[in-house]
Amino acid sequence: MERKLVSPVVIDDVQPIDGADLIEVATVKGWKLVVKKNEFNIGDHAVYCEIDSFLPVREEFEFLRKSSYRKMGELEGFRLKTMKLRGQISQGLLLPVSLLEGYAYEIGEDVSARLGVIKYEPPIPAALGGIAKGLFPSFMPKTDEERIQNLSGQYEAFRQHTFYVTEKLDGSSVTFYLNEGVFGVCSRNLDLEETADNTLWKVARAENIEEKLAALGKNIAIQGELIGEGIQGNAYGLRGQTVRFFNAFDIDRYEYLALDEFKALIASLGLQTVPILDLQYTLPASLDELLTIADGVSVLSPQGKAVEREGLVIRSTDRKISFKVISNKFLLNER
């Protein structure tokens, strides 16, 4: 599912912030946003820009220059991040719906392209970027889970299910596949050529992943998080690089392997999964409580150092439901 960075929304709630005279907090879906007092009312339409949006340099966005100006390569713009204002977490930006004046919008529609907004992508180290052979292949899905805030309307229904929980690691997404006899290595968005200096390919060769997948005798992909030296500051204090896996995908059936089958497959390949924290998990009473639970120390913290985990990924054992819960503590410290 492609992420909707900008969409028209309905304001679900507006509440005061203790000790603040000029600002208040609005709720949109499951997101909390600090807004000017009396700017929005419950039931109003507005334009919501998610965190990680990269807004273009345009007059209507110039108010962001002091707090959010960044460059992405040679492109100038304004990056939206998680912030805390007067003790209140704020995630994203609410804009007046007049920004879409003259356009017959629908609530929830993706209007990113109309406003020139793209996703902010941090600089990729040369050893991870590589040379693109093509875009991410269409015979398997990318690895980006939906955030729970965007599924807040389904939260009560989700509470009827039992899930398993894994730690979301702070690394770089990688997919290894074998399809019709062709082995490939992908970053989040690209199918990469094999080069001597590309870390993703070097790990593939060091782990003999092509040979291991070929021995399975089927078209399959395994997806994981590359962690270690040279990756996201190496928070886990590792030497070299390694991959911890969280998905296995049957290309011919076009479906993810259920939990038990996935664990058995990764073990049979002599590889490791991401940390599995709970195999019988039910969601707490509220989304706010779940967001608090996402904060915590990583299982992979090096000895003597507590590393804030990025968050949790929560999936049903049959893989019909899955979403991520990113730690607000982690986001507030994001580079």
Could you count the other beta carbons within 10 Å of the beta carbon of residue 334? 13
Reply yes or no on whether the pLDDT at 58 is more than 70. Answer: yes
Single-letter code of the amino acid located at 206: A
Per DSSP, the residues of 246-297 read: EEEEETTTTEEPPHHHHHHHHHHTT-EEPPEEEEEE---S-HHHHHHHH--B
The 3-state DSSP composition of the chain as helix, strand, coil percent (nearest 5) reads 20, 35, 40
pLDDT score at 289: 97
Helix (H, G, I), strand (E, B) or coil at 307: coil
Structural domains of the chain ordered from first start: 6-119 (2.40.50), 126-333 (3.30.470.30)
Query: Cα separation of 101 and 97, whole Å?
Result: 7
Mean pLDDT score, 48-53: 96
pLDDT score at 222: 98
Backbone angles phi, psi at 171, to 5 degrees: -145, -140
Query: Cα separation of 100 and 106, whole Å?
Result: 11
At residue 225 the predicted structure's pLDDT band, cuts being 50, 70 and 90, is: very high
Residue 202 — left, alpha, or beta (φ > 0 → left; ψ -120 to 50 → alpha)? Answer: alpha
pLDDT digits (tens, 9 = 90+) for 283-307: 999 999 999 999 999 999 998 899 9
Reply yes or no on whether the pLDDT at 172 is more than 90. Answer: yes
Reply yes or no on whether the pLDDT at 111 is more than 90. Answer: yes
Query: Cα separation of 15 and 34, whole Å?
Result: 10
Reply yes or no on whether the pLDDT at 3 is more than 90. Answer: no
What mean pLDDT value characterizes the chain?
94
Reply yes or no on whether the pLDDT at 187 is more than 60. Answer: yes
Reply yes or no on whether the pLDDT at 126 is more than 90. Answer: no
Residues paired with 312 in a beta bridge: 167, 325
Per DSSP, the residues of 73-111 read: TTEEEEE--EEEETTEEEESEEEEGGGGTT----TT---
What contacts 201, CB < 8 A, 6 or more positions away? 130, 185, 192, 194, 195
The percent of residues in the chain predicted with pLDDT above 70, rounded, is 99
* Residue from 95, 130, 124 nearest 5 by CA: 95
- Give the residue with greater pLDDT, 226 vs 129: 226
Reply yes or no on whether the pLDDT at 248 is more than 90. Answer: yes
Mean pLDDT score, 4-11: 96
pLDDT score at 246: 97
How wide is the angle at C-alpha 319 spanned by C-alphas 177 and 108, nearest 5°?
100
pLDDT score at 48: 97
Mean pLDDT score, 39-51: 97
Mean pLDDT score, 185-194: 94
Backbone angles phi, psi at 308, to 5 degrees: -65, 130
pLDDT score at 192: 96
At residue 217 the predicted structure's pLDDT band, cuts being 50, 70 and 90, is: very high
Token representation of residue 298: 């990583």
Residues paired with 89 in a beta bridge: 84
What contacts 88, CB < 8 A, 6 or more positions away? 17, 20, 25, 32, 34
Per DSSP, the residues of 4-45 read: --EEEEE--EEEE-TT-SSEEEEEETTEEEEEETTS--TT-E
Reply yes or no on whether the pLDDT at 277 is more than 70. Answer: yes
